[in-house]
């Protein structure tokens, strides 16, 4: 009896062992056959991982190789939540929330992730990362990276633009030329032990390829001169906004371009959309009298007027269809040259009526109004120049004097530059070339002729008229000692709620110097200056100051 019980127990135990052995065998087969790849991957993740190696973003230089944007080394803080106990996490949250100015809830959410790697905060200043390192927190580690730095703050902000935390370009040239500047990421395999401690670098290593460098047409010194003067006028005249562009008339190179309001490239988060907008290429406005140069060009080029022809200016009042044109000062009979020197609206309208709307439109298009200039910056708008078939009965008295047409400052400076350049229109541009770390040129951008818009003879005749504007007309405040200046003023009412305002204006001046052998062209536009609002009193002095200092800096004299 006793032996039978022992035999039964032995059988039960043996059977149980057999069942468990069978189950374990099945389980082992499932693991080995069906889950081996998953478990192998898990083991690899626990014991080795790949670190992305960030390339150094290329530097942006001015034309004289002065750095305008470059990268500096920084550290980023990351955590390995899987290696941290609850006490470690509480300690990290307590210290890091104050030191890094992050909410405890934010840090807790990241540390509670079931991951081996989570970012806590990217690209800390060196002194701050040193403070975090001193805490010696378990599970908190550091990754060496680089951060974009703009040494001049807001200087040339609307040209350079900015890059984000991940070194991706977001605005301006940083965005346009991101493919050249960014470079290519590398990677490195790191081996770890069971406690997730780094042991050594694995065999897999791909070095990062640093970005290429941009060399601009911008001259840092002229840019500073332009921004300083523009900012003073912007504040002095309580303006809503302002823009300035300085161009080399022979090449189309932009030496300076600035807007107000502006923003600090090293503190973009505090800026708004309006301050970041490049108004010089993205905002349109009715230019007023600066556009009269186009009417003059059409009349002279087509040989329909000469400088001595007389125009009766109706003593200050003239009806065009159902609209009454007026002049700021009433004039009787003026010569063709004097009509533009004294900026008579009535005289220009009567000249336009004689040459016809089709010619005004033809030369407006020749000077590329209503057409992109092709500048190598994103965001350029075309403006608007309507075809003669769309003109009303009053348009012949509007477009020739700068109304019912919209332009950008870059179009204006390109147009006046073409007159300075013997009638040849150059494409404006801001990037000279792209180079690598060995100073090998990867891509270069040469001056590009777009078209001949008027003959050299007509350009010389226009220069003489524009010199008269500055010598004895509306642009006297643009005069420079010992240097002849040519230019044109403009004062245009703004459209507010569909009607022309009686108190809000655009004040403009465009011109070039030295007039006998032009080197630089410039446009200055001030939006809603007050109480002064005339182009000759608001914008011309900015032109005079910037041009004077720029020519001295470039050592250009009137005798060259």
Does 379 lie in the same domain as 312? yes
Does 383 lie in the same domain as 497? yes
Looking at residue 288, the DSSP 8-state letter turns out to be G
- Beta strand 241-248 pairing with 67-79: unpaired
Query: pLDDT category, 205, cuts 50, 70, 90?
Result: low
Q: Residue 57 sits in a domain of what CATH number?
A: 3.90.1310.10
pLDDT in tens, 392-435: 999 999 999 999 999 999 999 999 999 999 999 999 999 999 99
> What's this model's pTM, rounded to 2 decimal places?
0.84
Does 457 lie in the same domain as 315? yes
Percent of the chain exceeding pLDDT 70 equals: 89
Does 379 lie in the same domain as 424? yes
For 454-459, the CB contacts below 8 A with 24+ separation are 454/297, 454/300, 454/301, 454/363, 454/366, 454/418, 454/419, 454/423, 455/301, 455/423, 456/422, 456/423, 458/297, 458/300, 458/301, 458/423, 459/418, 459/419, 459/420, 459/421, 459/422, 459/423
Does 231 lie in the same domain as 165? no
- Asked whether 526 and 261 are in contact (CB, 8 A), the reply is no
> Residue 275 falls within a domain, yes or no?
no
Does 246 lie in the same domain as 304? yes
Contacts of 304 (CB under 8 A, 6+ apart): 354, 355, 359
- Asked whether 449 and 363 are in contact (CB, 8 A), the reply is no
> Residue 368 falls within a domain, yes or no?
yes
Q: Which domain holds residue 394?
A: 220-265+282-438+447-554
**Count of domains for the chain:** 2
The one catalytic residue among 76, 129, 154, 289: 289
The reply to whether 289 belongs to the active site is yes
Predicted pLDDT of residue 51? 60
DSSP 242-286: EEEEEEETTT-BEEEEEEES---GGGGGG--HHHHS-HHHH--B-
pLDDT in tens, 120-171: 888 887 788 888 888 888 888 887 777 889 999 999 999 999 998 778 899 9
Does 453 lie in the same domain as 328? yes
């Amino acid at each position: 009896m006793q032996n039978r019980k022992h035999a039964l127990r032995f059988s039960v135990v043996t059977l149980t062992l057999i069942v468990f052995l069978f189950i374990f065998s099945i389980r082992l087969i499932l693991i080995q056959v069906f889950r081996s790849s998953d478990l192998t991957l898990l083991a690899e993740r626990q014991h080795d991982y790949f670190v992305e190696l960030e390339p150094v973003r290329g530097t942006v230089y001015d034309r004289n190789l002065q750095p305008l944007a470059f990268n500096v080394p920084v550290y980023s803080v990351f955590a390995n939540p899987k290696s941290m106990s609850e006490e470690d996490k509480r300690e990290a949250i307590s210290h890091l929330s104050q030191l890094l100015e992050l909410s405890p809830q934010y840090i807790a959410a990241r540390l509670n992730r079931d991951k081996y790697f989570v970012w806590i905060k990217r690209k800390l200043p060196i002194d701050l990362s040193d403070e975090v390192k001193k805490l010696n927190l378990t599970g908190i580690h550091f990754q060496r990276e680089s951060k974009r730095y703009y040494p001049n703050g807001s200087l040339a902000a609307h040209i350079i633009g900015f890059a984000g935390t991940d070194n991706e370009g977001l605005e301006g040239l940083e965005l346009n030329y991101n493919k050249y500047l960014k470079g290519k990421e590398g990677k490195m395999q790191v081996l770890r032990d069971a406690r997730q401690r780094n042991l050594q670098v694995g065999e897999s290593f791909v070095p990062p390829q640093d970005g290429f460098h941009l060399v601009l047409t911008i001259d840092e010194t002229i840019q500073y001169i332009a921004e300083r003067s523009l900012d003073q006028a912007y504040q002095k005249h309580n303006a809503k906004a302002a823009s300035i562009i300085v161009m080399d008339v022979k090449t189309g190179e932009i030496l300076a371009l600035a807007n107000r309001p502006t923003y600090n490239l090293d503190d973009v988060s505090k800026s708004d959309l309006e301050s970041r907008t490049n108004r010089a290429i993205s905002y349109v406005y009715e230019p007023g009298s600066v556009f009269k140069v186009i009417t003059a060009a059409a009349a002279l080029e087509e040989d329909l007027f000469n400088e001595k022809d007389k125009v009766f200016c109706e003593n200050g009042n003239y009806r065009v269809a159902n609209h009454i044109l007026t002049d700021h000062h009433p004039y009787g009979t003026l010569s063709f040259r004097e009509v533009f020197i004294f900026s008579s609206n009535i005289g220009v309208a009567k000249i336009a009526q004689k040459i016809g709307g089709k010619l005004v439109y033809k030369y407006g298009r020749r000077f590329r109004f209503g057409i992109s200039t092709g500048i190598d910056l994103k965001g350029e708008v075309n403006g608007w120049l309507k075809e003669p078939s769309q003109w009303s009965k009053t348009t012949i008295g509007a477009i020739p004097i700068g109304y019912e047409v919209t332009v950008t400052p870059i179009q204006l400076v390109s147009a006046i530059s073409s007159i300075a350049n013997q009638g040849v229109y150059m494409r404006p541009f801001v990037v000279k070339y792209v180079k690598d770390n060995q100073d090998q040129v990867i891509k270069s951008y040469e001056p590009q002729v777009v078209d001949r818009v008027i003959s050299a003879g007509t350009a010389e005749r226009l220069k003489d008229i524009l010199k008269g504007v500055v010598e004895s007309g509306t642009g006297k405040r643009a005069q420079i000692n010992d240097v002849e200046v040519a230019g044109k003023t403009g004062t245009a009412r703004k459209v507010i709620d569909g009607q022309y305002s009686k108190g809000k204006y655009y004040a403009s001046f465009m011109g070039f110097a030295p007039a006998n052998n032009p080197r630089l062209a410039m446009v200055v536009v001030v939006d809603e200056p007050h109480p002064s609002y005339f182009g000759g009193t608001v914008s011309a002095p900015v032109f005079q100051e910037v041009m004077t200092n720029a020519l001295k800096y470039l050592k250009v004299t009137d005798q060259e």
